[in-house]
C-alpha cells in the first residue's frame, strides 16, 4: 500500500486506473496532504477512485488536471511546492462539487430572463438530473416539447428553428449518441443552428456513477466531431451571460452551440404539476389495406405534390422519397431530408408548432418510422392540427436495395390510433389518397395517413441539385 507508484502510472489519467494501478494511492494521499481513505481492501477500486478524484479534483478549465505522473515518484511528496500545485487549481466550483459546499451557482429564474432576452422560444429535450432546474423552468413557463429521445429533440428543435422559432435542446450527455444522426446530417449540413444544454455527467474530477465515466471523457470531442461548437457553462450569471452572447455569433453563422452544464450549476426550481392529458382517442377510417394492386410511391407523390398550395410545406424522408419528389417537381415549399433517418415527422412537429399558419405534410417511410417510433407518441401528445403524417409503406428499405422491414406484420393505422393521433386514415388506391388529402386540407387535425405502396422506383430517378442548406434558405424564404 505504501509503495510509490511505478513509472507505468505516470501517463495515466485517474479515471483509467484499474485496481492494480491504485496500489500507489497511499503515496498519492501523502502527497496531497489528505487523510488516508478508510479502505481496507486494495481491490476496492471504485471506492479508491472516487476518493482520489474527490481529493485531486479537476482544476479550472484551461488548466491541465493534475495526473498521477505529476506526483513525485519517490518519497512521501510532502513538499510545499508539490502540495501547493493542486489546491491552487481548485476553483470555487470544484470545491462545491467535491466538498458539497454550495458556492456560486446560477439563479435559474434569472437565467430565464437571459434566455428570453436572446429570444429562445421553444425547448425540447429529455430529462437529466443535472439539468432538472432548466427542464423544470422550460416545462413550467416556456414552450417545452418533451421528446422520447435526444435525436427526436434535436429534430423537433430544428423543425421549429426552420419555422423561425429560436430553439434549444436540453439533454444529458448519455443521450448524445442518440442525437448524433440529426446533429451530423440535419442541423449541420442543412445549417439549421440549434442551441443545446447538456448535462455533463462523468465530468473529469467529479465523482459520478461508473456508467458516465467514458461518456464524460468523450463528450466534448463527440460534439465537436458532430460539427457543434462547445462551451462549458460557467456557474455564475454574469459569466454565463457572456457565454450565451458568445454563442449567438456561431448561431448566426449557422453553427449549433452546445453548453456543457456541470452538476449544481443551476439553483433548484420546483416542477409545477404538468397538465393532465388523458388518451383522447381519435377517428379511424380504414380502407382495404394492402391492396394487391397498390400504387407506386411515385404516383402517390404526384398527387400530394399536385395538392400543394401557398400554405403547404412538404417534408420528404431520406432516400428515394425525396429524390422522387424532386423529380416530379422541385418547388420552394419542398424539403428533401437527407440523412437523419426517422426524423421527418419530428421536424414536421417542430415546424407545425412554429408555424400554425402553414400546413405541414411529413412523408415518411416504413423503415424510417420503425427506426424512431417514439415520434408517434410525441406527435400525438402535442397534436398539432396542421400536421399530416403520411406513411408510404412498401414493407421494405427500398432505397437501399429492397430489404424487408418488419412492417408487413404490423398494423400501422392501429398503432397510430393507439398513440393518440386525432385522425387516422388508410389508403391503398390513388383516389383514397386524394380523398384523405382533401379531408385534411378541409378539416385540419393531426392526421396519420397510411398508404400501402408497391416497392420500386421510377427510372431515371433524379437527385436534388439544390444543396440541403440552400433548400432550407429557400423554404424559409417561402414561408416568410
Ligand X SMILES: Cc1ncc(C[n+]2csc(CCOP(=O)(O)OP(=O)(O)O)c2C)c(N)n1
**Shortest approach of ligand X to residue 318 CB, angstroms?**
5
113/400 with CB nearer ligand X: 400
Distance CA 42, CA 24 (A): 10
106/300 with CB nearer ligand X: 300
204/324 with CB nearer ligand X: 324
Q: Return the sign of the alpha-carbon dihedral for residues 399, 400, 403, 407.
A: negative
354 phi/psi in degrees, rounded to 5: -70, -35
**Shortest approach of ligand X to residue 345 CB, angstroms?**
12
**Shortest approach of ligand X to residue 179 CB, angstroms?**
12
**Shortest approach of ligand X to residue 155 CB, angstroms?**
12
Contacts of 140 (CB under 8 A, 6+ apart): 269, 271, 272
48/392 with CB nearer ligand X: 392
208/324 with CB nearer ligand X: 324
**Shortest approach of ligand X to residue 369 CB, angstroms?**
7
Give the distance, in angstroms, between the CA of residue 469 and the centroid of all CA atoms in the same chain.
20
Residues 314 and 471: beta-carbon distance below 8 Å: no
97/321 with CB nearer ligand X: 321
**Shortest approach of ligand X to residue 391 CB, angstroms?**
9
Distance CA 260, CA 65 (A): 18
124/396 with CB nearer ligand X: 396
3-state secondary structure 310-343: CCEEEEECCCHHHHHHHHHCCCCCEEECCCCCCC
**Shortest approach of ligand X to residue 402 CB, angstroms?**
8
Distance CA 38, CA 141 (A): 47
Nearest residue to 406 via CA among 459, 447, 367, 444:
367
Q: How many CB atoms lie within 10 A of CB 35?
A: 8
**Shortest approach of ligand X to residue 371 CB, angstroms?**
7
> Residue 229 has which C-alpha cell?
461548437
**Shortest approach of ligand X to residue 251 CB, angstroms?**
25
247/464 with CB nearer ligand X: 464
Distance CA 138, CA 269 (A): 11
Q: How many CB atoms lie within 10 A of CB 238?
A: 9
> Residue 420 has which C-alpha cell?
393518440
Give the distance, in angstroms, between the CA of residue 210 and the centroid of all CA atoms in the same chain.
22
Here the contacts of 143-147 (C-beta below 8 Å, separation 24 or greater) are 143/353, 145/349, 145/350, 145/353, 145/378, 145/382, 146/378, 146/381, 147/346, 147/374, 147/378
320/351 with CB nearer ligand X: 320
287/394 with CB nearer ligand X: 394
197 phi/psi in degrees, rounded to 5: -120, 120
367/444 with CB nearer ligand X: 367
Residues 199 and 129: beta-carbon distance below 8 Å: yes
18/403 with CB nearer ligand X: 403
**Shortest approach of ligand X to residue 448 CB, angstroms?**
15
3-state secondary structure 115-152: HHHCCCCEEEECCCHHHHHHHHHHHHHCEEEECCCHHH
**Shortest approach of ligand X to residue 336 CB, angstroms?**
12
**Shortest approach of ligand X to residue 298 CB, angstroms?**
11
CA 206 vs CA 23, 54, 360: distances in Å? 21, 7, 45
DSSP letters, 338-397, are -S-TT-HHHHHHHHHHH-TTSEEEEEEEHHHHHHTTHHHHHHHHH--TTEEEEEEE-SEE
53/405 with CB nearer ligand X: 405
Distance CA 302, CA 362 (A): 15
**Shortest approach of ligand X to residue 387 CB, angstroms?**
18
- Which residue number is nearest to ligand X in terms of Cβ? 365
Which H helix or E strand runs over 447? strand 447-452
Residues that bind ligand X (CB under 6 A): 181, 317-321, 339, 341, 365-368, 394, 396-400, 405
Amino acid at each position: 500500500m505504501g509503495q510509490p507508484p511505478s513509472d507505468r502510472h505516470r501517463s495515466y489519467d485517474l479515471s483509467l486506473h484499474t485496481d492494480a494501478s491504485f496500489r500507489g494511492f497511499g503515496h498519492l494521499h501523502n502527497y496531497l496532504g489528505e487523510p488516508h481513505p478508510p479502505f481496507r481492501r486494495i481491490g476496492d477500486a471504485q471506492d479508491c477512485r472516487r476518493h482520489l478524484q474527490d481529493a485531486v479534483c479537476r482544476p479550472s478549465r484551461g488548466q491541465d488536471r493534475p495526473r498521477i505522473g505529476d506526483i513525485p515518484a519517490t518519497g512521501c511528496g510532502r513538499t510545499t511546492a508539490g502540495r501547493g500545485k493542486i489546491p491552487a487549481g481548485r476553483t470555487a466550483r470544484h470545491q462545491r462539487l467535491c466538498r458539497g459546499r454550495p458556492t456560486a451557482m446560477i439563479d435559474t429564474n434569472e437565467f430565464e430572463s437571459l434566455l428570453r432576452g436572446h429570444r429562445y422560444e421553444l425547448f425540447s429535450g429529455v430529462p437529466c438530473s443535472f439539468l432538472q432546474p432548466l427542464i423544470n423552468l422550460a416545462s413550467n413557463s416556456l414552450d417545452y416539447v418533451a421528446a422520447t429521445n435526444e435525436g427526436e429533440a434535436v429534430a423537433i428543435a430544428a423543425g421549429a428553428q426552420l419555422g423561425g422559432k429560436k430553439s434549444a435542446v436540453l439533454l444529458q450527455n448519455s443521450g448524445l449518441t442518440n442525437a448524433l444522426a440529426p446533429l451530423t446530417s440535419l442541423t449541420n449540413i442543412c445549417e439549421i443552428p440549434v442551441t443545446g444544454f447538456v448535462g455533463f455527467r462523468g465530468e473529469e474530477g467529479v465523482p459520478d456513477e461508473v456508467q458516465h465515466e467514458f461518456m464524460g471523457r468523450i463528450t466534448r470531442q463527440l460534439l465537436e466531431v458532430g460539427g457543434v461548437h462547445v462551451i462549458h457553462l460557467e456557474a455564475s450569471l454574469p459569466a454565463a451571460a457572456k457565454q450565451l452572447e458568445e454563442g449567438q455569433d456561431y448561431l448566426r453563422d449557422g453553427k449549433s452551440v452546445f453548453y456543457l452544464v456541470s452538476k449544481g450549476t443551476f439553483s433548484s426550481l420546483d416542477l409545477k404539476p404538468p397538465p393532465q392529458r388523458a388518451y383522447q382517442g381519435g377517428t379511424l377510417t380504414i380502407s382495404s389495406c394492402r391492396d394487391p394492386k397498390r400504387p407506386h410511391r411515385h404516383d402517390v407523390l404526384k398527387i400530394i405534390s399536385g395538392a400543394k398550395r401557398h400554405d403547404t410545406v412538404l417534408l420528404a424522408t431520406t432516400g428515394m422519397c425525396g429524390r422522387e419528389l424532386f423529380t416530379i417537381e422541385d418547388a420552394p415549399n419542398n424539403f428533401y431530408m437527407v440523412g437523419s433517418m426517422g426524423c421527418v415527422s419530428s421536424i414536421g412537429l417542430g415546424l407545425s408548432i412554429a408555424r400554425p399558419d402553414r400546413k405541414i405534410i411529413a412523408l415518411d417511410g416504413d423503415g424510417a418510422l420503425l427506426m424512431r417510433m417514439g415520434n408517434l407518441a410525441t406527435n400525438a401528445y402535442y397534436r398539432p392540427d396542421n400536421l399530416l403524417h403520411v406513411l408510404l409503406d412498401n414493407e421494405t428499405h427500398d432505397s437501399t436495395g429492397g430489404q424487408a422491414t418488419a412492417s408487413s406484420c404490423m398494423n400501422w393505422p392501429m398503432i397510430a390510433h393507439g398513440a393518440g393521433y386525432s385522425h387516422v386514415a388508410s389508403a391503398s388506391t390513388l383516389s383514397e389518397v386524394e380523398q384523405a388529402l382533401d379531408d385534411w386540407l378541409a378539416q385540419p387535425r393531426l392526421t396519420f395517413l397510411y398508404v400501402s405502396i408497391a416497392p420500386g422506383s421510377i427510372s431515371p430517378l433524379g437527385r436534388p441539385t439544390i444543396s440541403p442548406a440552400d433548400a432550407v434558405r429557400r423554404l424559409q424564404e417561402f414561408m416568410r
